[in-house]
Amino acid sequence: MNMTVCQDERGGGIQVIARAAKILNALGAQPNGMSLGEIAQAVDLPRSTVQRIIAALDAEQLVRSEGAGGVRLGPALLRLIASVHSEVVSIATPWLQRLADTTQETVSLSRASGLQLAIVHYIIAERELRVVPRIGLNLPLYSTSGGRALLALESDEAIANWVGDSFDAVTDLTITTRAELMQRIAQIRVTGIAIDRGETREGVCTLSVAIDTVLGRYAISLLSPEARFQRNEAQWCEALLVCKTGLMQEIGKPVAAKGTSD
């Protein structure tokens, strides 16, 4: 009897955690906030259930509730996210510096933020003609090499749900349909390297790899003026893959769930 009660309590606790995680993920995709009704619809749960979970999360400052239309991620969760990014930057910086020294080009670390690629850290090349990104600069996932490298980690179905069917052109070279995007994604899954030849910024080319770690998913990118890109592309790809391998060995991969492949 006692064993049954314990198992029931454990199962109920896991269910609550799973539901809370779905709610937090939904809020993470809507930084401007959501109403209880919108959350209930997004996670397919009764409004009363969502309200109870939101109240518990609010008490722990994991969400912030500001009336009927304003449930957002809370300060405790945002502080946790910031500390994780800080830890990744701390670990990654020596590897990024080594890559920048080897290639004599600018190197950046970025992550997905909704449908945008957000740069969280960079090493600027020490030469006269160089690419200088901006921290917090958000660029489309579909046009950037870093964004496409991260998308390649997702399933085709998840990508379709995430980015839609058509996109705005950033430059004359930007891909504008999901069919074109999926062709690029297929290539990235084979080579491990994503390439942007002036699709996001005219005259700027980038190479990227994605790292899927216990601390989250990030993209490492090498940014170069177009004039130097073509003659150095092959050796830069090798240097980028060396950087990825070393960093992955240091941080570690996420543990695969049972029944899934690595």
Six-digit token pair at 188? 């990235």
Section 33-59 average pLDDT:
89
* Residue 87 or residue 173, greater confidence: 173
Residues 180 and 142 reside in one and the same domain: yes
Which pLDDT score is estimated for 2?
47
Q: What percentage of the chain exceeds 70 in pLDDT?
A: 85
Among 20, 47, 73, the domain boundary falls at 73
Residues 54 and 114 reside in one and the same domain: no
Distance (Å, whole) CA 99 – CA 239 = 7
| pLDDT tens digits for range 235-252 | 999 999 999 999 988 887
Residue 65: inside a domain:
yes
Domain total in the chain: 2
Distance (Å, whole) CA 151 – CA 112 = 9
| pLDDT tens digits for range 20-29 | 888 888 887 6
Residue 258: inside a domain:
no
- For 106, the enclosing helix (H) or strand (E) is strand 106-113
Largest CA distance in the chain: 75
pLDDT reading at 262 higher than 60: no
Residues 145 and 215 reside in one and the same domain: yes
Residues 228 and 114 reside in one and the same domain: yes
Which pLDDT score is estimated for 258?
41
Residue 259: inside a domain:
no
Residues 228 and 121 reside in one and the same domain: yes
Which residues neighbour 210 within 8 Å (Cβ) at sequence distance 6 or greater?
A: 146, 149, 150, 152, 153, 194, 217, 218, 219, 220
Distance (Å, whole) CA 1 – CA 218 = 47
Distance (Å, whole) CA 163 – CA 160 = 6
Q: Which of 134, 129, 130 is nearest to 110 (CA)?
A: 134
Residue 231's pLDDT band (cuts 50, 70, 90): very high
Distance (Å, whole) CA 54 – CA 252 = 33
Residue 186: inside a domain:
yes
| pLDDT tens digits for range 47-70 | 999 989 988 988 888 888 876 558
| pLDDT tens digits for range 157-168 | 989 888 888 888
pLDDT reading at 4 higher than 60: no
Residues 67 and 86 reside in one and the same domain: no
Residues in the chain: 262
Out of 32-41, 48-57, 125-134, 142-151, the most confident range is 142-151
Which pLDDT score is estimated for 58?
86
Q: What percentage of the chain exceeds 90 in pLDDT?
A: 46
Phi and psi, residue 106, nearest 5°: -70, 140
| pLDDT tens digits for range 59-107 | 888 888 876 558 888 877 666 665 666 778 888 999 999 999 999 999 9
What CATH number has the domain bearing residue 106? 3.30.450.40
Residues 28 and 63 reside in one and the same domain: yes
Q: What's the domain range around 108?
A: 79-251
Q: Name the residue with tokens 């995430």.
A: 162
| pLDDT tens digits for range 140-149 | 899 999 999 9
